[in-house]
A and B are shown apart, each in its own frame.
Chain A
Amino acid sequence: MALFGSGRDANFVRLINKELINRVVDIEIEYYQLATPLTPENLYGESTEKIFYQPVRIPCLIDRAEVTATSDEGGINFTRTSIFAFLLDTLKEKSIVATAGDYIKWDSSYYEIDNIQLNQYWGGKNPDTYPGNVFNETNEFGYNISLIAETHKTRIDRLNIEQTRIGINNNYYMPKNL
């Protein structure tokens, strides 16, 4: 049985994280979780438009790269990769099961999640899978801290969440596909 990294210590780390991320830093994003059951798919299992659940505001830490511009025959593309780091406890509290393909709105931009990292274990142990915990042989040890979402900025008009081209018929301006 380990001496350090017990449930008590993990509780302390959790408290510090919650205070830091929820109260001190307090950068909130809107998380758009893909509503897979509601998204229609075609003959080939593809969907032409995506349906999302109502966005959920979640505090997180953001590591954003510089904006890069590429040009091709279609014109100039601006893109940017960003890493959104969530406290896993917060996601659990809000019943969010993050997956690749979900979207994050931050700073008026949408980021599509490309990859999810779930391997930041304090003390090297994930209490959900650590055998001592699972089989109730020891007290709780370790702490699964975060969910890291690697994303890239995406075009708003691909999402059908916001009306991006506004004509003269302002009465129809409303969010779509929610």
Chain B
Amino acid sequence: MAVNISVWPGSSSFFPGDTVFGYYDYDFDFQTDADATAKWCAQRLGYPIQEVELQPNHFYMAFEEAVTEFGNQVNMYSARDSFMNVLGSSTSLNLTNRVVSANFNGVLHLSKEYGSLVDTGGSLTLYTGSINVQSGRAVYDITDTSRVYFETGSVANDAITVKRFFHDNPPAVARYFDPYLGSGTNTQLMLNSFGWGNYSPGVSFMMLPMYADVLRFQAIELNDMIRKSSYGFEFSKNRLRIWPVPTMDFTIFFHYHLNSERDNPLRTPSGSISDLSNIPYSNMSYENINDIGRQWIRKYALALSKEMLGQVRGKYSSVPIPNSEITLNGADLLSQAQTEKDALLTELKEMLDSFSRQSQLERKDAESTSLQSQMIKIPLKIYTA
């Protein structure tokens, strides 16, 4: 029994499930256009003058692929335009056919890393640690587990980057009223002379200009610098040397980052947009594609149909006929299909390029410049009295 496979019968009736992937099968517009496109493609390929050795499902498949290709190209260009704005956002969004605000997300994302290093924010946690300083001892090992404590992390095992040691001279304001300071305020004597010395605090009754406080702070600091040992430290590798040599036990606090956190490239939680592969663009709804897009899709479907027909007719380089053989136009069809596909894709890409934010801004700029050059030539009214 000879195998009998029918070819394009002249018309078709689409039913959901007739395409391979079924992305758009339940879209009413797609269902309607599928049959019309199939008929159009078949007639463009020569039917009914010639047989077209394709079946309706071939045309549906080409149509589905063309819609997907169109959506794919548009989405890719949208993704390129919006990538910096959505980097790190949740992948559960659906950006298809949505306007993505031109925010600073991507810029801030990069800036955070700089901010982390200079302690102006960023994405790294700044932890606090402490060293128990011993009287008479100036040198300490930051990995000494008996003296050093970390808020987070292990002193013995975790590498850290110390951002700041809190080991400074006592602030001048703390000794503003130090009776032993020697800088003298003279205010107490003056108040005593008025009989207000018994009130406490006596200075509450004094109104002094701001510069008097500043001058006093400067005097305290200058006094400390000249007459006292300077506070300071030297930190090399794990070795900390502090000045002056402590005369009593106290605690030095410091801020640090954990190097493991700083060097971790995966600080953004999983499920975040990271690259083209997970920007949440999906197949477009066919019903939302306008006529400009639909015409491109039809042409691309025709090119794909032509390619399939070329494959069919080109499987055997020559086909036997009674007492002879013939060569079909498979190679020509394949060549034409490739040329048409390339041309359509190039046209679409150029169009999409011209629709990018950058191109649109450049166009507006050119428009504005041209408009100005036009306006500048319009004579102004001259008023005469």
Residues of A within 8 A of B (CB): 6-17, 19-21, 23, 60-61, 63, 83, 85-87, 120, 122, 127, 139-140, 145-148
From A6, A8, A17, A147, contact of B321 by CB (8 A): A17
B50 within 8 A of A: yes
Which chain B positions have C-beta within 8 A of A86?
322
CA distance A147 to B320 in the complex (A): 13
CA distance A63 to B3 in the complex (A): 30
Q: Who on chain B is nearest to A86 by CB? A: B322
Chain B proximity of A148: nearest CB distance (Å): 5
Determine, out of B58-66, B195-203, B236-244, B323-331, the stretch whose residues face the partner at the interface.
B323-331
Which chain B positions have C-beta within 8 A of A8?
3, 5
B51→A19 contact, CB < 8 A: yes
Known: A14-B2, A145-B322; 17 extra A-B contacts, CB below 8 A, are A6-B3, A11-B3, A12-B312, A15-B53, A16-B319, A16-B326, A17-B321, A19-B51, A20-B321, A23-B51, A60-B322, A61-B322, A83-B323, A86-B322, A120-B320, A139-B3, A146-B321
Q: Who on chain A is nearest to B326 by CB? A: A20
Q: Mark B257-276, 1 if CB is under 8 A from A, else 0.
A: 00000000000000000000
A85→B323 contact, CB < 8 A: yes
A122→B5 contact, CB < 8 A: no
B80 within 8 A of A: no
Q: Who on chain A is nearest to B315 by CB? A: A9
B316 within 8 A of A: yes
The verdict on A145 contacting B4 (CB below 8 Å), with A15-B51, A16-B328, A19-B51 known, is no
CA distance A122 to B316 in the complex (A): 11
Chain B interface size band reads 20 to 34
Q: Which B residues from 38 to 69 make CB contacts under 8 A with A?
A: 50-51, 53
A120→B50 contact, CB < 8 A: no
B7 within 8 A of A: yes
A63→B323 contact, CB < 8 A: yes
CA distance A14 to B320 in the complex (A): 9
Which chain B positions have C-beta within 8 A of A6?
3
Which chain A positions have C-beta within 8 A of B326?
16, 20
Chain A proximity of B321: nearest CB distance (Å): 5
From B3, B50, B324, contact of A19 by CB (8 A): B50
Centre residue among B2, B4, B323, B326 by max chain A CB count within 10 A: B323
The verdict on A146 contacting B51 (CB below 8 Å), with A7-B3, A11-B5, A127-B2 known, is no
A selection of 18 A-B contacts at a CB cut-off of 8 Å is A6-B3, A13-B316, A14-B2, A16-B321, A16-B328, A20-B321, A85-B321, A85-B323, A85-B324, A87-B321, A87-B322, A122-B320, A127-B2, A139-B3, A140-B2, A145-B322, A146-B322, A147-B322
Chain A proximity of B224: nearest CB distance (Å): 96
A120→B7 contact, CB < 8 A: no
Q: Who on chain A is nearest to B4 by CB? A: A11
The verdict on A146 contacting B323 (CB below 8 Å), with A8-B5, A127-B2 known, is yes
CA distance A19 to B47 in the complex (A): 12
Which chain A positions have C-beta within 8 A of B5?
8, 11-12
CA distance A87 to B3 in the complex (A): 17
Q: Who on chain B is nearest to A117 by CB? A: B323
CA distance A15 to B50 in the complex (A): 11
Chain A proximity of B283: nearest CB distance (Å): 32
Chain B proximity of A151: nearest CB distance (Å): 13
Which chain A positions have C-beta within 8 A of B51?
15, 19, 23
A61→B323 contact, CB < 8 A: yes
Chain A proximity of B57: nearest CB distance (Å): 15
Q: Which B residues from 1 to 28 make CB contacts under 8 A with A?
A: 1-5, 7
Which chain B positions have C-beta within 8 A of A7?
2-3
CA distance A151 to B316 in the complex (A): 32
Which chain A positions have C-beta within 8 A of B3?
6-8, 10-11, 139-140
Q: Mark B110-150, 1 if CB is under 8 A from A, else 0.
A: 00000000000000000000000000000000000000000
Q: Which B residues from 351 to 381 make CB contacts under 8 A with A?
A: none
From B4, B7, B316, B323, contact of A9 by CB (8 A): B316
CA distance A60 to B4 in the complex (A): 22
Which chain B positions have C-beta within 8 A of A145?
320-322
Chain A proximity of B316: nearest CB distance (Å): 7
Which chain A positions have C-beta within 8 A of B53?
12, 15-16
A13→B320 contact, CB < 8 A: yes
CA distance A164 to B72 in the complex (A): 76
CA distance A77 to B306 in the complex (A): 54
Which chain B positions have C-beta within 8 A of A120?
320, 322-323
Which chain B positions have C-beta within 8 A of A87?
321-322
Which chain B positions have C-beta within 8 A of A21?
321-322
CA distance A13 to B315 in the complex (A): 11
Q: Who on chain B is nearest to A87 by CB? A: B322
Chain B proximity of A132: nearest CB distance (Å): 14
CA distance A145 to B5 in the complex (A): 17
